[in-house]
Structure 1
Amino acid sequence: MRLLVTRDDYFEAAMRLLAAEGAGKLKIGVLCKSLKVTTGSFYGYFGSFEGFVSEFLAYWEESQTERIVQMSNAPSDPVERIHLMKELAAQVPHDAEAAIRSWAHTSPQVAEAQKRVDERRLEALAGVLRPAVSSRREARTMAMMGITLLVGLQQWRSPVNRKEFDLLFNEFEGVVLARMADRAVS
């Protein structure tokens, strides 16, 4: 048995389990076994499975959305921001995200978190794309295209491989940068 695990250890184990087995296998005993701890450790941190799910979803929103948004907004150059957003999106745990999206069909709590994540990602991507296009509406439309590519790839391929991700998102980035160049000429 391990002597000490953190909340983040549980969350990271849950992401691995979701990616490998899906939400149906996300259970207290399985999590504890994967971390080599007793269930007492789990209950000490979370009190219940519902408590764990709430904290896990908050962790997921923070680590896979807010962190990416903050990092992609760091560069001042719009081209750098667009490229960085693409690179950060490539690093998202796609298989776990596909499992979370599937889980959202059966859990209102997960569905609500999924909606928040989708909307925040859409808003963030539109903000990154705004300098490349002529209007907020066009930025939002282009962001919807980007999010749809990401979600579609996650649902279509398991595992998502970097070669296919790059093929799609390099093309998307090229379209965005071409719009930016057209706008600069106009």
Structure 2
Amino acid sequence: MRLVVTREEYFEAAMRLLASGGFGDLKIGRLCKSIGVTSGSFYNYFGNWDGFVVELLEYWEAEQTARIVKMTNVHDDPFDRIATMKELATTVPHETEAAIRAWGNSNATVAEIQKRVDGERYEALRNLVLAVVPDKDRAEILAVMGITLLVGIQQWRTPVDPKEFHRLLDEYEAVIVTHSEAIGEH
């Protein structure tokens, strides 16, 4: 048994369990065993299962949404930001995200946080698209298309083929560029 682990080790192990077996495989005993600690360690860190779930999903939100948005926004050029977000979107843990979405169908807390993440992603993408396609209605449609592409591939393909997803995102980026050229932006 290990004496010390970090919260992040718990979260990363939980993400792997979600990816490999879905939310039904995410149990305290299985989680603790996977990182070599006792359940007492778990309760010391998180108090209870519900506290862990909230922290896990906040970690997922920070790592797979806030971090990506921050990394995307380091670029000044909006087309570079779009390209960066596209590249980073291929690296999210798609199987984990599909499991979180399925989990949300039976857990209100998970559903609430997953809905919040979807909203944050939509807003970030909409703002990126608005920087090159100033027609608000068109930018909103394009942002919905992008989020739908991400969620759709995660739900339809298991596992997600990164090369296939990258090709789809290339086409999506081309649609955005086409709309920006149609109004003389690029």
**Normalised-by-shorter TM-score class:** over 0.9
Give the drift of 1:74.
1.2
Aligned to 1:100: 100
- The aligned counterpart of 1:133 is 133
Percent of pairs with identical residues: 56
Aligned residue identity for 1:159: P
SS in 1 for 2:166: helix
Which is worse superposed, 175-184 or 156-165?
175-184
**Residues 132 and 185 in structure 2, CA contact (< 8 A), matched pair in contact too:** no
The CA distance in 2 between the partners of 1:180 and 1:112, in whole Å, is 34
What residue number does 2:65 align with?
65
For residue 166 of structure 2, what is the aligned residue in structure 1?
A: 166
Q: Amino acid of the residue matched to residue 49 of structure 1?
A: W
Runs of 4+ in structure 1 over 3 Å off: none
- The yes-or-no answer on 1:80 pairing with 2:80 is yes
Q: CA deviation at 1:185?
A: 6.4
CA contact (8 A) 2:129 2:142 kept: yes
Distance 1:5 1:185, change over 3 A: closer
Residues 66/185 of structure 1: CA separation in 2 closer, same or farther (3 Å cut): closer
Contact 1:104 1:111 in 2 (8 A): yes
Q: Is the 8 A contact 1:123 1:140 kept in 2?
A: no
- Partner SS state of residue 150, structure 1: helix
| Root mean square deviation, CA, Å | 1.2
Residue segments in structure 1 that go unaligned for 5+ positions in a row: none
Q: Residue 69 of structure 2 contacts residue 124 of structure 2 at CA under 8 Å; is this kept in 1?
A: yes
Query: What residue is the counterpart of 1:8 in the other structure?
Result: 8
Query: Conserved in 2, the CA contact under 8 Å of 1:131 and 1:180?
Result: no
List alignment gaps of at least 5 residues for structure 2: none
2:92 is the alignment partner of 1:110: no
Q: 1:7 offset after TM fit, Å?
A: 0.4
Equivalent position SS for 2:76: coil
Indicate the residue corresponding to 1:183 in structure 2. Answer: 183
8 Å Cα contact 2:129/2:143 also seen in 1? yes
2: CA distance, partners of 1:5 / 1:138:
47
Give the counterpart letter for 1:118 in structure 2.
D
Q: CA deviation at 1:136?
A: 2.0
Give the counterpart letter for 1:119 in structure 2.
G
TM-score (norm 1): 0.97
Length, aligned pairs only: 186
Task: Please give the secondary structure, in 2, of the residue aligned with 1:133.
Answer: coil
2:79 is aligned with what amino acid? V
Change (3 A) 1:32 1:181: same
1:150-165 correspondence runs (5 A)? 150-165=150-165
One-letter amino acid of the structure 2 residue matched with residue 176 of structure 1: I
